[in-house]
Structure 1
Amino acid sequence: MLLWAVFPGCGHSEVEPLEQERGLSSTVDNPLRSTNSMTPNGLIMNGLIMNGLSTNGLIMNGLMTSGLNTATFKDWFNANPEGYSSMVMKYVVGCAVQSGQSRTWTNPLTHVSYSWNGVLGLTPDWASGLPATEREQQLLTACLAAHVNKYGLHVLVSVQGLNAKGVALPLETNELTTFSVLEGAFFGNLAVGGSAYVCRGSNLDGTESSLRACGLASQDNGVSVECPPLVHVGACSRYCVLDSTKTYFTQCTYGGKTYAPLTTRLRATDIYRCGDGVCQVSEKCGTGSHYNNCSDCGSSR
């Protein structure tokens, strides 16, 4: 699991990841809803995702024992800060492998054993040991990007879309009503050195914020201020096509390239508003009503 510490400061301060316990398998709340606590500074900004997907050998060697037992994977795993490679693999396996399956690996240098659980099953062929297809690379990118969280805190989200075989992720009873806020869609292909994109499914005004600052944000376009190098492209309606039920996006086209996306939804209670009298982690000290200058958190010191 990931452990988090809150450091004192004005209102709610930034959170930083503590060292991950080694050798522990990860858990999620249930197979269709994901907790996301990957921090951009711990993953994307450190290059563990952007470089790891193309250099750890798994994309070409498959996500089975044969791929995990290569020298390339061992070297990649041990070259990163302690705990981070296992965190990356927790989400890689969770995204790629179906629920009820897991992947285990013993580090030949430290003799520590790891077990990572499958959850969404987005890439059946890659999970079976075959090289990842382009669509599988795109879905893995979308899934990892959808789980990046600026603050490193767990936020329950609904993940929807099609796996690489075109099979829809199933919905639980009342899932769409519980997760009523359409956050947006994530897409791209980091495995070939490309970018990860996010489009906006709903709008936030200046008073509103969310722990999901990497996804649902007031920023419209450009490299994410909150979570670089994720790229905001604006409203999903400009780039993405909804399925026939208007539930999730089936494809997104940006820069002349069409991608397989994943759609995310939030609970309305996870959208915060400056002025409600409560200082949230996503709000900053100030005297106004904007989430970056919020009187709920007191004046700056």
Structure 2
Amino acid sequence: MATGCIAPELALEAEGEAENIDSSADALVSGNALSYNALSYNALSYNALSYNALSYNALSPAAASALQDSGAGGALFRMLVNYTVSCALDASQAFSFSWTDAAGATHNEVYHGELGLADTWSDGPLGAAGKQVVSACLAARTNRYGVSVVISMRSHEKPLRHEVDRDEREAYPHVEGAFWGDLFAETPYLRACYNEANAEASRAAQRDCAAGSVDEPGDDVEPCGMIEIVGSCQDHCSKLHPPGQYHKDCEDPDSGKTRYVITTALR
């Protein structure tokens, strides 16, 4: 736990017995309200978080400063780190630090892991696969309006890889699209594609970061902050894996095929 003006170090805390994220629907259903303004804060690019930011020596000076910023930029950065920890770490892990607001009050933050998509980040640098799947998770949980909408997150990658049971398929039948990218690249990027059949349902649920925003019917879709909407998933991704209802891979316009894709579905 860091205090004062010392650069905050990471505290990865075991909370009770370790619990692996299992393949139940409850473990894979998540709210999304990450502001796209937080993504555009450049917080996860190479010049803000070191590649081993969640290992022993933790935060780069720039990231440490951003976490302790008492202004709007600090709030955005903390939101982003909170969601990053939730995507990357599992339920037995947490990231803790302290910061001081403009009134001089100290806030002791503890961000808990949830999905465990890159839980080995606690032991060393985040690898290429981890960077991409965590980025996809963050993109999937971003909301243009800051509104929390419950989504079902599905992927060919562990631990999200599972055969969606009948109850979950019936509860979340509207596959809305897919997300991928790399926020840790020298030039960070995020992409999304939409399921044409459910695009209007996504927009009605205020999930414009999945379907793309349009002012009038027939208009070109608008990006969601830094998330580029590349078009229909039918044109960019493999067919939906029938039992799991997810895209195994997608074709990125610039970087080629990637299997680090998260597919989302709505009620």
Normalising by structure 2, report the TM-score: 0.74
Asked whether 1:33 is paired with 2:29, we answer yes
Q: Is the 8 A contact 2:212 2:229 kept in 1?
A: no
Do the aligned residues in 1 keep the contact of 2:223 with 2:229 (CA within 8 Å)? Answer: no
| Cross-structure match for 1:200 | 194
Once the two structures are TM-superposed, the CA of residue 266 in structure 1 deviates from its matched residue by: 0.4
1:105 & 1:169 partners in 2: Cα distance? 34
Q: How does 1:41-60 map to 2 (within 5 A)?
A: 42-44=37-39, 47-48=40-41, 50-58=42-50, 60=51
Query: Once the two structures are superposed, what CA deviation does each residue of 1:189-230 show, in whole Å capped at 9, x if it has no partner?
Result: 121123211011243459x63311111246599995262321
1:175 shift after superposition = 1.3
Distance 1:221 1:63 in 2: 44
Name 2:266's counterpart in structure 1. Answer: 266
Residue number in structure 2 paired with 1:84: 76
Q: Using the alignment, how far apart are the partners of 2:89 and 2:146 within structure 1?
A: 23
Q: 1:131: Cα distance to partner?
A: 1.3
Residue 152 to residue 143, structure 1, CA distance change in 2 (3 Å): same
Equivalent residues in 2 for 1:214-293, closer than 5 Å? 214-217=209-212, 225=222, 227-241=224-238, 242-243=240-241, 245=243, 247-255=245-253, 256-259=255-258, 260-267=260-267
- The answer to whether the aligner puts 1:61 opposite 2:52 as a matched pair is yes
Contact kept, 8 Å, 2:29 with 2:150, in 1: the verdict is yes
Aligned partners of 1:210 and 1:217 also within 8 Å: no
Q: Distance in 2 between matches of 1:98 and 1:170?
A: 20
> Among residues 169, 186, 195, which one is paired with 2:179 in the alignment?
186
User: Does 2:142 align with 1:143?
Assistant: no
Once residues 222 and 170 of structure 1 are traced to their aligned partners in structure 2, the CA distance between those partners, rounded to angstroms, is: 36
1:93 corresponds in structure 2 to 85
Question: Which of these residues, 107, 112, 127, is aligned with residue 112 of structure 1?
Answer: 107
SS at match of 1:83: helix
Distance 1:104 1:51, change over 3 A: closer
Aligned-partner residue type, residue 75 of structure 1 = S
Give, in whole Å, the separation in 2 of the partners of 1:188 and 1:125. Answer: 20
The offset of 1:54, in angstroms, is 2.3
1:37 Cα offset (Å): 1.1
Task: Give the alignment's TM-score, normalised by structure 1.
Answer: 0.66
Structure 2 gaps, min length 5: 1-24
CA displacement at 1:159 relative to structure 2: 0.6
Query: Is the counterpart of residue 153 in structure 1 residue 150 in structure 2?
Result: no
Provide, for residues 79-119 of structure 1, a one-character-per-residue CA deviation record: whole Å limited to 9, x for no partner: 56242222111100010011242221223897532111111
| 8 Å CA contact retained: 1:205, 1:218 | no
Answer yes or no: is the 8 Å Cα contact 2:32–2:148 preserved in 1. yes
Q: Residue 179 of structure 1: CA displacement?
A: 0.5
C-alpha distance in structure 2 between counterparts of 1:102 and 1:221, whole Å: 45
For 1:209 and 1:136, locate their aligned partners in 2 and report how far apart those are by CA, in whole Å: 32
| More helix per residue | 2
Query: Could you tell me whether the CA contact under 8 Å between 2:212 and 2:222 is conserved in 1?
Result: no
Report the secondary structure of 1:130's partner residue.
Answer: coil
Q: Is the 8 A contact 2:38 2:77 kept in 1?
A: no
SS in 2 for 1:131: coil
Runs of 5+ consecutive residues of structure 1 not aligned to the other structure: 1-28, 268-301
Distance 1:222 1:234 in 2: 13
Counterpart code for 1:213? D
Q: 1:196 to 1:137 in 2, by over 3 A?
A: same
Kindly provide the CA deviation profile for residues 239-278 of structure 1, in whole angstroms up to 9, marking residues without a partner as x.
Answer: 22244635211211122522211010001xxxxxxxxxxx
Determine helix, strand or coil for the equivalent of 2:27: coil
Q: Distance in 2 between matches of 1:246 and 1:171?
A: 5
Q: Percent identity?
A: 23
Q: Which amino acid aligns with 1:89?
A: V
